[in-house]
Structures are given as C-alpha cells and as structure tokens.
Structure 1
C-alpha cells in the first residue's frame, strides 16, 4: 500500500475517478483554471497538507467506531450464546408446551449469535485494514511535509543570503560616494598608517568589486533554487499530496461500502434465520404452537395416573359423622334455643363495596329479614310505611325509655306480633322482633332518623349499656355496632348534610364547650343517646355548630388518628414528591392499605367534606380552611417535628385531591 501511495499509477487514479460520482470520470475537474490557479500558488502545499490531515482524522474516527462496534458485538454474541441455555431447560417430564416453545424460541438466539459471528469477523478485518491505511498514510504525509519544508527552507535561505549581499554591496557603494566628495589632499589615519584619498579609493573599489561578485552569485543561486522549486519540486509535491488524499478517501469509501454490505447481510441472514424460506419452522410458528388448554389438561390428568389417586383426597378435610353416644340416647333434655342470634346479612362486612351515603345513615333500603331462607311466610308482621320502616337488626328492639326525646308519648306502647301465629324456625331475629304500629310511626318527626343502636334490652352477651363511644379505637366501635362506619359519624354527617351545608363557617365556628361536653357524656353513658344529635324543630344555627364540634371532638379523641401514626414516615415521603400524579398515586396506595374501620370512616368523612366544599359560595369554607381545621385531627404529626402543622394540612389537601381516585364512589 505504501508503494502504491508513493507512486500512484494512472490505473489507480482512473479507478478512483470512476469510483467517485457513480462511474463518471471527474479527473478533468482538476484542470479547471480556478483549480490550477490554486495548485500553482504558494499556498497549494499547505492547503493540501491540511486537507490530507482531515482525511486521516476521518479515517481515525471511523476506525475507532469500527473497533468499539466489533468489541460490543463480540461481547453481546458471547453473552447471548451462553445465557439463553440456562433458561427453560426442558426434560422428559415437562407437560407445558408453553415452556417447550419458549425453549425453542430462545434457541433462535443461539442461531442469531452464529450469524452475527461472521459480521464480527468482517468488522475485525475492516478495523485491521483501516488501521494499516492510517499508519501508512500518516508516515507518507510526514515524509512529504518534511521534504517540502526542507526545499522551501533552502530557497528561503538563499534569498536571505542574497539580500544580505545586496545590503553589503549597497553600503560599500554609499561609502564610495562619500569618499569622492572629500578633499583629495586630506589623509586618513588608520591602524596601518595614514592613507591618502587615492589610496582609500583604490581599496574601496576592490571591496566593491568583491561584494558585487558575491552579490551576483547569491542572486543567481537563489533564483536558480526558486525556479527549480516552482517548476519541478512544488508541482511534484502537489501531485503527490493530491494522489494521497484521493487514495485515502477512496479507500475509506470502499470500507464504508463494505460496512453497509456486511450490515445488510447481517440483517438479511438474521431474517432468514428467524423466518426461513424452506420447511424449517420459524420463530413465529413455534410461538403459535402453544396449546394452553392441552397443557392444563395434561397437568390435571396426571393425578389420574396409577399410584396418585390418594392425592385426590385430603384426609384433613374428611368430615366426622355425628353419632350420639349410646349412654345418652335416653337422657336427652330439651334445650332452649339461644337467646341471641346473628343475622349474617346484617353483620357481614364486605370489603370496600358498600356506600354509606343514604338519605339517613340509619335507614336501610329493604327489609333484610325478607331474604332469609327458612322464614315462615305465615308469620308476616304488619306492613309499615316505606319511609318509616325499621329494618330488623341484630337483637334490636325499641322501648319507650330508649326512643328519641319527644318522639313518643309516655303512654305509647309497642304492639307485638300475633301470639297465635306459628313459631318461626329461623335465625333471623327480624322475624320475631317487636314492630311499631303504623299510627305510632306516622306520629314521629319525619326529619329525625331512626337509630339502629342496640339497647341493653337485647344486646349480645357481655356488652354493657354504658359502652363508651369517645376515646375508643375505631375497630372496637365498629365491632360493637356491627357496621362499616361508627354511628356517631354517620349521624353527625347526616345532620350537617341536611341542615348545615349552606351554613356559614360550618366547622370553623365552634359550639359552647359545656354543651359539647354534656352531649358527649350522654352518648358515652348510652350509645342510644346518639339520637339526641338530631336537632328538634325548629332548629337554630347553634344546634348545627354543636353537631360539627361533636364530630371534631370524636375524631380528636381517638387513640390513634384515622391516618395512623405508623404511616407518618410514608406520608412525609408522599408530600416530598413533586409530580402531582405520582404524589396522588402514592397516597392512593397508603389509603388502600388502611384497615377497614379507618378506610370506611375516612371515606365517609372525606366525601362529606367534599360536599361542604361544593357549597363554598354559601358556607365560605374553601379547601384551605377545611384542611387547616381537619388536617391536625385526621393526619399524624410530622415524625421529625411534632409542631409542624403544615405537614398535616398538606396531607389533608392531598387526601381530598385523591378521594375520587382512592375511594369507592358513593
């Protein structure tokens, strides 16, 4: 390659010319007058050296890319050809066609690795060729550059010497002119004695003759060197540099074409490997050969094989047959049925599916007892008005001492079902619970909800009448009431939704502390006194403020906030998230993991506060005001700074923002 670069033949030049421009001969471009003018000028050598350097830099950069490419591809092939073998190994006991097909599909990775290996070999060869080209052309450029600089320096030095000789010659001539202007009789004292003017003229003429001869010789020598450099050496150097540039660029063009050809071959061979033209199965056909139904059938059918029938029966689940002991056959005693029975339809708590927002939180939409299987159809109780119907609850009964104040007269009596009706053999206590006559129900205030809170007349064993409501964990309160949301929360929300949504300053204005404390004590004495929360007609604004203060007092008295203190660190992480969508999704996750008691209670409160916000124009309670009031009550304190109220306010804001996403809609 070095010899070709030093002495480029006409064939090579014509090949380069035909290669550039798609077969068109472009050699005539260098014969253009404007190009000849540049090539014949003094700047030609430096310009071509600079252009050759650019070509070498391009060659070097492409060489580095090829090296990185083949190193990367080589590592990829090595890992690909090894790693796929470690996954989805199939043995004879494998029933899953999915696993077998995955193994077959991953086998194509090994085939593609083999295809890519030839591509890597080609890249390595290209790297070696480009590296040799770069090394050779760099040496040639350095040699041409040193030769041209040496010739230019010789011409420059000769011209500089001629200039010095010219200066010396001119100086002596000026001295001759001065000497001719002096007095001829005047003598001059020198180191060799005194000299007359004539003697001085003779000596000066000899020096002028010698200087003139030297000056002429150096001028002739410099002109000769310059003419030789311009007419012979510079055209030769220019032609050599031009050929080197074209040779480097042509070689790089060929390497670029080889790169594209090898890349095309890689893609085509990979495609043929994945989807062959012959009858060999393609990757797609393997993926389509999966039969999930047959896989499951084969897996289940293996339990029918000989020796595996015992696996079909779990000995721990074999029922025990009831057999009365012989000694007890004649000693059987009649036992009274249990006095307390649980209605499963009332006491089962579904997971995140029940809405608590009804016209009144204590009214059911239908009678649960009617759906209990086994109930006697002949023991139907008197029908009540649909808006006044009292649905049967677990052991609930109403007496004159436990009804709302003023709702019944002291002389009112409860009418029970006909004693002559047949005995109902069912566990639903609603069929045998006392009923309120229609006349008595019609006399009740239509705006006052009927409470389902149990009284001491018919409570589960072990439950006392003075079961506290305030300061009790939500779980205990829910377990006692057998409902999703505490009765006091539902009752307070119902009253404020009905009478206080348009009342200015609801939750901001507080009621009399003594009134709140007195009502709290009454409810703690007897849960049935929750019915006292409903204001009498006509009601005043202070009655509604009292209900709002009571609701805040209930949540403030909880042993742990509705958002537990254990979540304070995670809430802090949530508030530090800048992206609103990510922050809401994080809070959604925290809410979803809450226990049922906290989840449903928080849901009822949050949707209630959103209804308050919907009436902001009337009640003057915006989002910030509600968060300032409810944040310190609902959210735990900052784990790093207990006095940081803004932490709880911000948590409440995020909670209200994510409510529609995190909670079941009402």
Structure 2
C-alpha cells in the first residue's frame, strides 16, 4: 500500500508539473499573439497599405487574434488552477502517507519490543528451571549429572563444566541448606514464570491490537489516501479535457461565429468579404481626385468575378457506403481467413473454454461462416430465415467438429446452398451450453428491452452488453457487425433488423431452464413465450445501434 500510494503521488506530481508547464506555454502563446496583433493593428494605418474592404476586414482579423489570445489567457489561468489543486492533493497525500508509515512503524516496533521482552523472560525462566532441576538432582545424590546437565534453550547459554564433587555450587552442603536452595530456586522459577506469563500476555494483547485494530486502520487510511488522490487526479484530467474542448470550441466560434448576427466577424467571413475589384476601383477614383488628372485604365479582357471572390466553396472526398455486397476481403483467398489449429469439437462446448483452448478471440466457426455468407450469400432472399437441409447441416457440423481448421467453405459443397452455412452457424449458437447473453444477465436484458423510450432503452442495453464476459462480448460484437452488413442489403435480401432479431433473439437471449419450467405468466403460458417479444426487441435495438454500442 505504501508503494502504491507512492506511485499515485508520483503520477499526480508529474501531472501537476505538466499542467504548470502547459499553462506557461499557453500564457506565452497568448501574450505573443496579443502583442503581435496589437503591433500590426497600430502600425497598419502608418504604412502605405491598402484601405477599403481589405483594411476594414484586416483589422477584423487582427481583432479576432486578440480575442483568441484572451481566450488562451483564460485557459492558462485554468491550467494553473488545475496544477495548484493537484499539488495540494499531492501534499495532503504525502502528509497522510508519512503519518500512516510512521504510525505503522511505531506500532510494529512496539510489538517487536514486546516479543523481545517475552523471549528474554522465557530465557530467564529456562535458567531458573535449570537451577531448580540441578538442586533436585543434588538432593537425589546425582551430583555428577547435576554438574554436567544442560536444559532447553539455556543449554547454549549456561553449562557447568565440572562436577559438584570437584568444587561445585553445592559442595559440603547439608540437607537443610539444600532444602533452602530448593525453596529459593522454586520461588525464583515461580517468579520467572509469572514474569513470562505477564510479558507473553502483554505481547499477545499488542499483537491482537496491531493485527485487528492498528494495521487495518493504517491500511484503510492508505487506501483512502490512494482513492482520494486517484479520484482527484482523474477529476482534474476530466476538467482539463472539458476546458480543452471549451478552448477549442471558443477558438472555433471566434474564427467562425455560429450566429449570423454576431457583433464581430469571423476569420472566414472577414477574408471572404474582401472585395478586391471594389477596392481597386475606389483606389483609382481616389488617386484620380488626389492627383487632379484623368487616368484611363487599360483595357482588360475580363474582370474578376465578384461573386466568385466573395464566396468559398468546399469539396469533400468522403465516399458514401458502398452499394456492393462483397466486403474488402472479397479478393482475399478463403484459406487466408481460416485460422489453423488442431482438431477439437466446437458444438455444445463452453464458449470461454473454446476460445482459450484454440487461442482465439472470436469463435472460428463464426468467422468462417460469416465470411462465406458475406462473400456469396449476403444478397440471398431470406438469408438466416430460410433453413438448409437438415442432413447437410448436420454433415457440415460434423466437419467442424472433426477439424474446424480444415473446413474451407469456399470449396465445400455446402456453398451450393448458402442456407446450409447459415443454418450451421445458427445451430452452433443454439447448442452453446449457455446463451451468448448469459442466464445471469437475462432479467436485466429483458427489463431494459421493456423500456419504451428508444434512447433510454439503448442506454440500458448498452450497459448490460458491457457487463458480458470478455469472450461473450467479443463474439456478440463480431456477430452484430456481420448482421449489420447483412441488413445493409435489406433491399435485396429482405432481411431487416427486425427480421434478423426474430431469428436470433430467442437463441442469443434465453431464460434459464428452471425459470422456463417453473414460472407461469399472467395468461397461463410459459415465461419464455411472454418474453419472446422483448428478446427480439433487445437484439433488434443492439443491432440497430450497433455502431453506437460497439464502434463509436
């Protein structure tokens, strides 16, 4: 947690430095633009420059530059505020992190000291117990063993290298003295045991407080610090994005005001309003009056067309949607679109396991069948609505299960009836152990589909789509992209989004089996039948809003 908080602090500090430098750049830019515009504005009348519509509109252009500079001055001020706010959050986070670290170190040191005190008390108890044991051995007459013995951990700390008979502790002691020593060492052992118990209890209490109270509080404080700093940084980034959008929008409005009755002209209008022909005529007339002579202008074949000079025309190179039914991959060999992998069954297998097993992001059968349909069958009337021969569908299914990487639909006999390919793909979806939109999300999808407001229904369905597991999301996205291209040819194949939703709705979005068997609707029918309209509505909305949900 300390390392994670350090990363957040460094990230925020870096962002604060960036915004501070960016503010300086914006302020320098705004100052330079304003200075340049004012300089040229004040000097223009002093030079022998053009007057008329050009002079007037040139001043408008310079005035627009000054407005742009003011816009960027405000942006620089906002960036400085963002930098200062992040810096304050960084200081608070550093202070909180330092406090948590010091508190943790203090409590940890207290616990370590308590454990050390317990260990020292245990050593003293071991020594006292060893002394008492020696007395007992002497009392029993075993002085040699008493002199040479070592007990417990104290063995490495304390031993007597010679026997009592050679001058030990109890040499020439009578029984009464040995009894007094026994009582003395018994009290010493008892006292050491009480101290050990006290130290152990104190250490245990500190341990409980540390792991159950102090440490969770420290971790929670660090987590709060991280969350506050990360959230604050994200807010400032969003604020920066909004301000950046605003400055760009403000610049755009200055350059080209949206209101035709705006008090100031935009750059484009100012440039377009320059009338070179009129200015030239005014100059000739003024010059003629000023010189008091008559000047005849030379003969010209064609004057410049005023309407052409006062208007701007734009052309777009954007191309509309292609009317061709084949995709860009139509010229790609079919073999290149077929992934190579080992032969494993794919029908009736769990989707996630399939993708993980084969190392792909999208089920290969979906890519292969969709590619074949888009190549040769996308214009077929009733594609997906019409079913192929059952035996031939089962035959194609067996080929996929045997080795999907060896299936080449562009050379397979199934291509003679593209409905067989479509039927095989629909069968694969039907035989999934769990529908593509999952049993867990079924109630949420149905409730979203019941919303009458189209935009709100799209939002709620979009939220549920984002809740899908990664494998299901990627598969649904690929399928919806394919169906979107199919419905683009609705004028030929008669398969609108509504018709495709009727085909795929109950397959992709199905109620759990226990709910189908147990629940009974208001009219006495199974819930599956009652929900069918909403199943189709959910799929139709997702397909219709495919680009809003998956692309844009």
- Category of TM-score, reference length = shorter chain: 0.3 to 0.5
Normalising by structure 1, what TM-score? 0.36
Q: TM-score, normalised by structure 2?
A: 0.43
Larger Rg: 1 or 2? 1
Of the two structures, which has the highest relative contact order with CA contacts closer than 8 Å and spacing of 6 or more?
A: 2
Larger proportion of helix: 2
